[in-house]
Amino acid sequence: MKKSILALLVICGIYQTADAQLEYIHSVGVGYYYSPVDNYPALHYSPRINFYQLGYAGTFSLDTRLSFGYFAEQGTYAEEDYFTSFFPLTINFNKGNGATQFSAEPSGYYVGAGAAMNNGWSYYSNYGPYITTGVRFDIGELPFDLNGGFMLDVTDTRSNFYTVSLSYMLNMYR
């Protein structure tokens, strides 16, 4: 019985310590996505969970940038049009502005790596390792994020994928 209570206290203590490290930040924005197969503008939503904090100025986080767009090619023999989606999942190192909800620095940056999948609905799907980097800055009191990324396509299509986007960061500076 004593061992069970001790184990429960240890688990609760670990959870409380881990919970203190977790922080949820998200953003919305627009982007442009390019590959030899297609290129399109898109809207995206970017949830991020900071899971390890290095003071108020640095964090490690689990990020994604869920993007949805519409590809239309008119005036050619093929005349294709279809919905597209892009789903990266990365672990990022964040520094400065936007690293935490309370970061007060005027600018910041992040770098990360992971995996991504690009899907042209009912036409193709490709995936591969993904790297991302970006800068965060304030315009007045509004926090923004400028991002760039690259996915190395490991499928048979061999169409590497490039991304660039601008986001407005939500739930910052509570």
CA distance 134 to 106: 14
Cα angle vertex 53, ends 131, 134, to 5°?
30
Residue 61's domain comprises 22-170
Any domain includes 7 = no
CA distance 120 to 112: 25
* Closest residue by Cα to residue 173 from 83, 105, 72, 123: 105
Q: Give the pLDDT of residue 168.
A: 95
Query: Beta strands 124-139 and 107-120: pairing type?
Result: antiparallel
Name residues whose C-beta falls within 8 Å of residue 7's C-beta, 6 or more positions apart in sequence.
none
Any domain includes 12 = no
Any domain includes 98 = yes
Number of domains, the chain: 1
Per-residue pLDDT of the chain (174 residues), as tens digits, is 555 555 555 555 554 454 456 889 999 999 999 988 778 899 999 999 999 998 777 999 999 999 999 887 766 666 677 888 999 999 999 999 989 888 888 899 999 999 999 888 777 788 999 999 999 999 988 899 999 999 999 988 788 999 999 999 998 864
Any domain includes 152 = yes
**Please, what sign has the CA dihedral across residues 34, 35, 36, 41?**
negative
Residue 114 sits in a domain whose CATH number is 2.40.160.20
Any domain includes 1 = no
- Global pTM reads 0.81
Residue whose tokens read 């924005």: 29
One DSSP character per residue, 116-134 reads EEEEETTTEEEEEEEEEEE
Any domain includes 14 = no
Contact (CB, 8 A) for 143 and 136: yes
One DSSP character per residue, 52-73 reads EE-TTSEEEEEEE-EEEEEEE-
Helix (H, G, I), strand (E, B) or coil at 103: coil
Q: Give the pLDDT of residue 19.
A: 47
Contact (CB, 8 A) for 33 and 11: no
Q: Give the pLDDT of residue 157.
A: 77
pLDDT digits (tens, 9 = 90+) for 129-169: 999 999 999 998 889 999 999 999 998 878 899 999 999 99
